[in-house]
Structure 1
Amino acid sequence: MTTLVVCLDRTDDVGRKTGLRSPIVGWEAVRALVTDIGLADPEDSGVNSLLETLRVAQDLRDEDEDAVVAVVSGDRESMVSADRAVARQLDDLIAAHDPDSAVVVIDSAEDERLVPIVESRVQVDSVDRVVVRQARDIESTYYLLKQFLADEELRQTVLVPLGLTLLVFPVLAMRIGAAEGAAAITTVIGLFLLYKGFNIDEIMTGVAHQVRESLYSGQVSVVTYVVAAGLTFVGLFAGALGVSSLEETPGVVIPIVQFTFDSVPWLAVAALTASAGRLLDETISEEPIRSSFLNLPFAVLAVGMVVRGFSAYFLEQQGLIEPVVVPAIEQGVLSIDSFVVTGGERLALYVVTAIVVSIVGARIAMYFSSANVDAEPDDGMQSESTGRSNAESEVTDGGPRRDDGEPDRAAGSRHEPVSDPSHGSDSDPNPDSSS
């Protein structure tokens, strides 16, 4: 078994410092090269990689393996020409020695880019990375930085915000003060981290794609979504007006409840509008309506009624809204005195109504779902029974039938004729018997 122990030098440090041309093959040649490079530049880490190459080859020979030691270098013109030079030298080494496998020795992240070139030509059993002990942390940090800078997405995510921060902070410090500028920049960085952490960019991209597809396909939900957005803004504005009309109240609970009480009707109508548009799209399409879209309007209405009831109960307990007074009714013999509906009774009425609405929605969704499921097998069974009856009629009548139900004589004529003794010579199977 022959193993090629090759030391890679992408930037041609060997040729630049010794004047030798690669590839350099053989134990003695590489050993002399160590002395030449060491005398030319004692601080070069290439000396250590060459010594590691000799050590690996010696270990393989101690295990009774045939090891070929070689040093392959690129050139200094460009990275493409360097890689091509290394590939050409490797082809010459493989053609001359026909190794079964290879052990690659490298000493930098730059040389590691040549490993795929070796792997494409011979089986690589091991990659030996030589790092000088005094420079291990520096080399590792340098390698990580190169990997980081090579990733375009990481560069845009980290370096761009950092550069903008360094540019904006001096301006803010001179205009509004250092503390205010630092606070503003910290707020922006926090918002950016939340934006990336929650994948808001991907969500917005998906929403934009869905809106574009909806516009191109002419869906009704596009219009209802716009109407729903307008109703949502109206609801938020109504809630804000309700909060602004409150007197000075300690805490934030009462303003939140007041905002909810005033905005929930508009928000519920907005949700109903959006769900109605989606339901219309499902109805127009050829596919059966899914039960989730049928149940959604009822669920929205039920939730809106429950939230409205609880918020009204809390506000009535604080005396911010008046109880509901039902006026007296007098029509003929019907006479009902006026009465007051308290907060608890109104809450119970809202909750019971919401439960009834949700049950009705669930029943309607189940009805349409079961109808769709029952319709599909019936159609299949009907077609199967129709095909079976047609097949049976053909077998029973001895042949296919016409549209009017009569047997097809033309089709029957294709069968063998049956002899009839009542006809004379026309049906006589032996014409010579008469003579």
Structure 2
Amino acid sequence: MTTLVVCLDRTDDVGRKTGLRSPVVGWEAVRALVTDVGLADPEDSGVNSLLETLRVAQDLRDGNEDVVVAVVSGDRESMVSADRAVAHQLDELVAEYDPDSAVVVIDSAEDERLVPIVESRMQVDSVDRVVVRQARDIESTYYLLKQFLADEELRQTVLVPIGLTLLVFPILATVVGPAEGAAAITTVIGVFLLYKGFNIDELLTGLAHQARESLYSGQVSVVTYVVAAGLTFVGLFAGALGVSGLDNPAGVVIPAMRFAFDSVPWLAMAALTASAGRLLDEAISDEPIRRSYLNLPFIVVAVGLVVRGFSAYFLEQQGVIDPFEVPAAEFGALSNESFVVTAGERLALFVVTAIVISLVGARLASYFSESESNHNEATETAQDAPPTASSQSELTDGGPTGAAAKRADDSDEDDLDE
């Protein structure tokens, strides 16, 4: 069993300081290399990596293993060329010594990026990371800061808000006071964190992309969404007018119920318009209509009725709205007197109607889905069915007029013989 103990140097510090070309292979060659690198730069941590490589090889030799000691370096042109140089040198070592496994010795996070290259060519039993004791925390902090500053997204997310805060706070502290400036800064930071935490930027990007595709494809939902937005604003305005018409309401419940009572019909119409446009797009497209789009309009109406019923119940209990009165009517010989529907009866009527509408919607959606699936199954069955006798004869004779064509060919041959 042959083990390759290889010291990785991605930036070619060994070649730059000693002038030697890698790979450097052999115990004596690596031992001499330690002296050359130490004399060129005694403060370089690469000396410790080379010594650790020799120590690991010596321990393996003491265990009666065949060991090949090597130092592999990249180049200074670019990271890609450095990785390719290391891969080429490893291929040469594998072709010459055919190691069964490898022990990798590295001294930095930069060299650790080469470990997958070694793993792609041979089995790696161990990765020995050499860190100088007195520089452990400094080096770790340095590489963390280096990786942080190399990430453009992290720089924009962290450094830009900190820089803006340091610039804006002195101005606000001078103009409006330190307390107000600190409050404004913390408010902006809180809004920014919520913006990033809820991925609002991705949602806005997705909405813009969807709106652009809808405009270019000419979907009906573009118009219905605009109408729905208008109805939504009308509903909010109607709810605000209803709340402003209250006479000194106590608490929050009554204004909220009044807002819901006045705005829900408009909001329900907005949602119904948007869902109808989406349903029309699904019907126009070649794909089958999904069950959720069929059921959505009924759910919207049912939810609107429930919210309207509960808000009317609370408002009627507080005397904000009058009870519902059914006027007298005559239908031929039948007639009825006017009567008042109580708040509980009105709520029950709205809830029962909403349940019935939701059940009807679910049933219709299920019916259309089953019809569509049965149609698709019938189409697939017709396509997969074996050919009939007439179709087989057509295939055999060369088409529906195969026999007639054959008789015509025979008559032509008889004319030629004559």
Q: 1:47 to 1:360 in 2, by over 3 A?
A: closer
Note the C-alpha offset of 1:309.
Answer: 0.8
The residue type equivalent to 1:164 in the other structure is: L
Contact 1:3 1:100 in 2 (8 A): yes
Q: Kindly indicate whether residue 305 of structure 2 is the aligned counterpart of residue 305 of structure 1.
A: yes
The residue type equivalent to 2:233 in the other structure is: F
After superposition, give the CA deviation of every residue in 1:268-293 in whole Å (9 maximum; x if it has no partner): 01011112112222333344444433
Match of 2:55 in 1: 55
Distance in 1 between residues matched to 2:124 and 2:381, nearest whole Å: 64
Distance in 2 between residues matched to 1:259 and 1:252, nearest whole Å: 11
After superposition, give the CA deviation of every residue in 1:45-73 in whole Å (9 maximum; x if it has no partner): 33322221110110121122333334455
Q: Kindly indicate whether residue 161 of structure 2 is the aligned counterpart of residue 164 of structure 1.
A: no
Correspondence list, 1:206-225, <5 A: 206-225=206-225
Q: Kindly indicate whether residue 253 of structure 2 is the aligned counterpart of residue 258 of structure 1.
A: no
Q: 1:260 to 1:388 in 2, by over 3 A?
A: same
Match of 1:274 in 2: 274
After superposition, give the CA deviation of every residue in 1:160-216 in whole Å (9 maximum; x if it has no partner): 333333333333322323222222232222222322332323332332222222222
Q: 1:79 to 1:297 in 2, by over 3 A?
A: closer
Q: 1:171 to 1:341 in 2, by over 3 A?
A: same
Distance in 2 between residues matched to 1:120 and 1:64, nearest whole Å: 27
Distance in 2 between residues matched to 1:378 and 1:91, nearest whole Å: 60
The residue type equivalent to 1:21 in the other structure is: L
Q: 1:360 to 1:21 in 2, by over 3 A?
A: closer
TM-score of the superposed pair, with normalisation by structure 1: 0.77
Distance in 2 between residues matched to 1:70 and 1:85, nearest whole Å: 15
Q: 1:326 to 1:117 in 2, by over 3 A?
A: closer
Distance in 2 between residues matched to 1:76 and 1:384, nearest whole Å: 64
After superposition, give the CA deviation of every residue in 1:304-345 in whole Å (9 maximum; x if it has no partner): 111101101101111111112333446775553333222122
- Runs of at least 5 residues in structure 1 that lack an aligned partner in the other structure: 416-435
Q: 1:37 to 1:225 in 2, by over 3 A?
A: same
Match of 2:132 in 1: 132
Distance in 2 between residues matched to 1:374 and 1:95, nearest whole Å: 63
- Runs of at least 5 residues in structure 2 that lack an aligned partner in the other structure: 411-418
Q: Kindly indicate whether residue 335 of structure 2 is the aligned counterpart of residue 339 of structure 1.
A: no
Note the C-alpha offset of 1:129.
Answer: 1.1
Equivalent pairs counted in the alignment come to 408
Note the C-alpha offset of 1:300.
Answer: 1.1
Match of 1:145 in 2: 145
Note the C-alpha offset of 1:149.
Answer: 3.2
Q: 1:121 to 1:387 in 2, by over 3 A?
A: closer
After superposition, give the CA deviation of every residue in 1:361-401 in whole Å (9 maximum; x if it has no partner): 33433443344344455667789999647469x79xxx999
Q: 1:90 to 1:280 in 2, by over 3 A?
A: closer
Distance in 2 between residues matched to 1:402 and 1:58, nearest whole Å: 88
SS at match of 1:6: strand
SS at match of 1:234: helix
Q: Kindly indicate whether residue 174 of structure 2 is the aligned counterpart of residue 174 of structure 1.
A: yes
Match of 1:237 in 2: 237
Match of 2:20 in 1: 21
Distance in 2 between residues matched to 1:96 and 1:383, nearest whole Å: 61
Q: 1:247 to 1:115 in 2, by over 3 A?
A: same
The range that moved more, 140-149 or 264-273, is 140-149
SS at match of 2:350: helix
Percent of residue pairs identical: 76
After superposition, give the CA deviation of every residue in 1:23-44 in whole Å (9 maximum; x if it has no partner): 4554345445545655665544
Distance in 2 between residues matched to 1:45 and 1:377, nearest whole Å: 71
Match of 2:155 in 1: 155
The residue type equivalent to 1:218 in the other structure is: G
Contact 1:220 1:280 in 2 (8 A): yes
Match of 1:227 in 2: 227
After superposition, give the CA deviation of every residue in 1:397-429 in whole Å (9 maximum; x if it has no partner): xx99989xxx967769999xxxxxxxxxxxxxx
Contact 1:294 1:365 in 2 (8 A): yes
Contact 1:105 1:128 in 2 (8 A): yes
Q: Kindly indicate whether residue 64 of structure 2 is the aligned counterpart of residue 64 of structure 1.
A: yes
Q: 1:261 to 1:15 in 2, by over 3 A?
A: same
The residue type equivalent to 1:268 in the other structure is: A
Distance in 2 between residues matched to 1:388 and 1:366, nearest whole Å: 35
Distance in 1 between residues matched to 2:384 and 2:109, nearest whole Å: 70
Distance in 1 between residues matched to 2:389 and 2:82, nearest whole Å: 80
Match of 1:423 in 2: none
TM-score of the superposed pair, with normalisation by structure 2: 0.80
Q: 1:39 to 1:256 in 2, by over 3 A?
A: same
Contact 1:22 1:71 in 2 (8 A): no
The residue type equivalent to 1:270 in the other structure is: A
Two-structure CA RMSD over aligned residues (Å): 4.0
Note the C-alpha offset of 1:151.
Answer: 3.2
Contact 1:6 1:102 in 2 (8 A): yes
Distance in 1 between residues matched to 2:123 and 2:53, nearest whole Å: 18
Q: 1:382 to 1:94 in 2, by over 3 A?
A: closer
SS at match of 1:131: coil
Q: 1:365 to 1:106 in 2, by over 3 A?
A: closer
Contact 1:400 1:411 in 2 (8 A): no
Q: 1:312 to 1:48 in 2, by over 3 A?
A: same
Note the C-alpha offset of 1:255.
Answer: 1.6
After superposition, give the CA deviation of every residue in 1:63-102 in whole Å (9 maximum; x if it has no partner): 2233333445566677677667766766776677665554
Distance in 1 between residues matched to 2:400 and 2:76, nearest whole Å: 90
Q: Kindly indicate whether residue 293 of structure 2 is the aligned counterpart of residue 293 of structure 1.
A: yes
Contact 1:22 1:72 in 2 (8 A): no
Q: 1:40 to 1:363 in 2, by over 3 A?
A: closer
Q: 1:411 to 1:79 in 2, by over 3 A?
A: closer
The residue type equivalent to 2:279 in the other structure is: L
Q: 1:408 to 1:340 in 2, by over 3 A?
A: same
Correspondence list, 1:317-396, <5 A: 317-329=317-329, 335-376=335-376, 388=388, 390=390
